[in-house]
């Protein structure tokens, strides 16, 4: 189970991992917390399109349907309303978010539909964002809080028995994306291929506090599935410029330079020494899948 804040997040974080596991026979469910209603049009080719802006919720739902099909995953909506972007957001500033938005929901209450899904789907592994949301978007931070809350109580029969029979996922992971080591490897791969690197300026200005590479416990080899990830990203046409930064480096260089997607093992109820190469390490050993 991969829990995400908005439609398109599933395609930019862990998509190749999911595509790999689906094609190895794993049942994968993406949970999307909000509809992305307050998202901007980030594809400059569509910017200013009044019809898209007027129908953003419906369009993003259709984009999600297409990405879901490409990845081969199942998908459920939690039904919360996008909070929109708030500069320098912290959870203690949630009162500045729009009324009725996801970021303003009580965490214990907002976790209930996710507890229900966990008990119905019965995942062994749950993936979400770290305490900073990966980046400090209100919905990403709330997604983290809700995911951890649900993980911690889904297996407790005394907590919300009305939400179904208890089920305890065995491992909780956080995505770790855009580390300095990743961009350094891609930068060097570009130079080795005789290409101009799009990462040079980024690396020169990289703030030490931004890097979370030391958190990585688990690297999943999934370079063969990067083309599927790219197609899923392009399905979110309002959010992804097909000629933009996601695709600036040739696919072959990306697969050569950094062929993994990376995670932090945050909680585990099985013996799974790190570093790992499989999200189901320990779970398979115990014969739980």
Binding residues for Zn(2+): 6, 9, 140
Look at residues 148, 114, 150, 111 and name the one whose alpha carbon lies nearest to residue 131: 148
Residue pair 163/131 in contact by the 8 Å Cβ criterion: no
Look at residues 262, 4, 285 and name the one whose alpha carbon lies nearest to residue 133: 4
Residue linked to tokens 């507890």: 115
The alpha carbon of 258 is separated from its chain's Cα centroid by a whole number of angstroms, namely 18
- Strand-pairing partners, residue 174, are 128, 264
Cα–Cα distance for residue pair 251/184, rounded to 1 Å: 16
Angle at 66 between CA 60 and CA 33, to 5 degrees: 45
Cα–Cα distance for residue pair 200/77, rounded to 1 Å: 39
Helix, strand and coil in the chain, % to nearest 5: 45, 15, 45
Neighbours of 182 (CB within 10 A): 20
3-state secondary structure of 34: strand
State the burial class of residue 214 (Cβ atoms within 10 Å of its Cβ: 0-12, 13-18, 19+): exposed
Structure tokens at 41: 């049009």
């Amino acid at each position: 189970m991969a829990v995400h804040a908005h439609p398109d997040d599933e395609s930019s974080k862990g998509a190749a991992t999911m595509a790999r596991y689906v094609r190895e026979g794993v049942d994968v469910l993406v949970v999307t917390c909000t509809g992305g209603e307050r998202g901007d049009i980030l594809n400059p080719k569509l910017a200013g399109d009044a019809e898209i802006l007027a129908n953003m919720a419906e369009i993003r739902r259709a984009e999600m349907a297409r990405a879901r099909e490409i990845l081969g995953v199942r998908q459920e909506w939690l039904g919360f309303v996008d909070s929109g972007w708030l500069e320098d957001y912290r959870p203690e500033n949630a009162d500045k978010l729009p009324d009725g938005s996801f970021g303003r929901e009580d965490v214990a209450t907002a976790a209930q539909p996710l507890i229900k899904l966990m008990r119905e789907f019965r995942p062994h592994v749950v993936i979400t964002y770290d305490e900073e949301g990966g980046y400090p978007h209100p919905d990403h931070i709330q997604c983290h809080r809700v995911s951890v809350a649900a993980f911690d109580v889904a297996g407790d029969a005394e907590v919300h028995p009305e939400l179904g029979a208890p089920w305890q996922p065995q491992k909780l992971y956080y995505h770790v994306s855009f580390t300095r080591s990743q961009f350094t490897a891609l930068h060097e791969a570009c130079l080795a291929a005789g290409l101009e690197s799009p990462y040079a300026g980024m690396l020169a200005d990289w703030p030490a506090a931004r890097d979370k590479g030391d958190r990585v416990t688990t690297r999943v080899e999934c370079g063969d599935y990067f083309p599927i990830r790219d197609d899923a990203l392009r399905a979110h046409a309002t959010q992804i410029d097909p000629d933009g930064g996601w695709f600036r480096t040739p696919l072959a260089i990306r697969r050569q330079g950094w062929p993994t997607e990376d995670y932090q093992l945050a909680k585990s109820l099985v013996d799974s020494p790190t570093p790992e190469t499989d999200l189901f390490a320990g779970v398979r050993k115990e014969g739980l899948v």
